[in-house]
Amino acid sequence: MKHLIAPSILAADFANLAKDVQMLEESQADWVHIDVMDGRFVPNISFGFPVIKAIKPYSKKVFDVHLMIAEPEKYIEQFRDAGADIITVHYEACDHLHRTLQQIKATGAQAGVALNPHTPVSLLSDVLEDVDLVCLMSVNPGFGGQKFIYRTLQKVRDLKEEIITRNLKTKIEIDGGVGLQNAEVLLQAGADVLVAGSAVFKAPNPMDMIVQLKSVGKEKMV
């Protein structure tokens, strides 16, 4: 399967967000990754519903909303109304994950679960059928521009094996410290979606960087 690229607007220019979202719209990006942080689940605050609502008209791409918030079940419908197509909650933030996944699906959005670097993929075993997307955090959530944790590769392999064995359609997304330096090995391990914040927005030419990330693993045409 062709891999997907999901640039994270956490690394975009917040004073010119519409411009950056428009750039993504014209680029080869597949999804727009949107990092919501509450200052409780993670030690940082980013943005919430009004910002997602404001940028929605500038893009037809899939809005992949990553909720790094405590008690996400309180806000699922509001994120859907704001324009989320995929809603990802953290395993570590949900006491009743199965219920929260059904709640997300009931809104019509796709349901994702994110795992912190210390959380084993085996803990998802009993809900995997209900999960459209597993987001494996390859940094501790809260900030962009951190160093990729290489142990993630083994988690990708283990999860991929389980997904294939059980004949599921669940996608694996990798989030944190992803760029040209590790994209290929991640795709070989079984990743389907690569999130890239700094790698895209700090590049001299973000659109070209997306093209490059998109072509990783493709045979070169002569």
Q: Which helix (H) or strand (E) holds 64?
A: strand 62-68
Residue 95: which residues within 8 A CB-CB, separation 6 or more?
A: none
3-state SS class at 188: helix
Q: Record the tokens describing residue 222, joined without a space.
A: 């002569």
Exposure string over 25-52, b if 16+ CB within 10 A, otherwise e: eebebbbbbbbbbbeebbeeebbbbebb
Helix, strand and coil in the chain, % to nearest 5: 40, 20, 40
Q: Which of 3, 21, 23, 66 binds ligand DX5 (CB under 6 A)?
A: 66
Among 22, 107, 116, 198, binds ligand DX5 (CB under 6 A): 198
Chain residues 170-189 in contact with Zn ion, contact rule CB under 5 A = 175
Pairwise CA distance, residues 94 & 114, whole Å: 11
- Rule CB under 5 A: is residue 90 a binding residue for Zn ion? no
Residue 138 structure tokens = 């390859």
112 binds, among Zn ion, ligand DX5, none (CB under 5 to 8 A by kind): none
- Can 30 be counted among the known catalytic residues? no
C-alpha span between 209 and 200 (Å, rounded): 6
Residue range at the interface with ligand DX5 (CB under 6 A); choices 73-81, 93-101, 119-127, 192-200: 192-200
Which does residue 6 touch among Zn ion, ligand DX5, none (CB within 5 to 8 A, set by kind)?
none
Which of 20, 30, 175, 192 is catalytic? The answer is: 175
156 binds ligand DX5 (CB under 6 A): no
Please tell me the count of residues contacting ligand DX5 according to CB under 6 A: 23
Confirm or reject binding of residue 214 to Zn ion (CB under 5 A). Answer: no
Beta-bridge partners for 198: none
What is the DSSP code (8-state) at residue 96? Answer: T
Nearer to ligand DX5, 116 or 161 (CB): 116
With CB under 6 A as the contact rule, the residue among 62, 77, 119, 145 that binds ligand DX5 is 145
# binding residues, Zn ion (CB under 5 A): 3
CB of 155 to Zn ion, least distance (A): 16
11 binds ligand DX5 (CB under 6 A): yes
Q: Which of 199, 209, 210, 213 binds ligand DX5 (CB under 6 A)?
A: 199
Catalytic residue among 35, 38, 132, 192: 35
In whole angstroms, give the CA distance from residue 214 to residue 183.
10
Catalytic residues: 35, 175
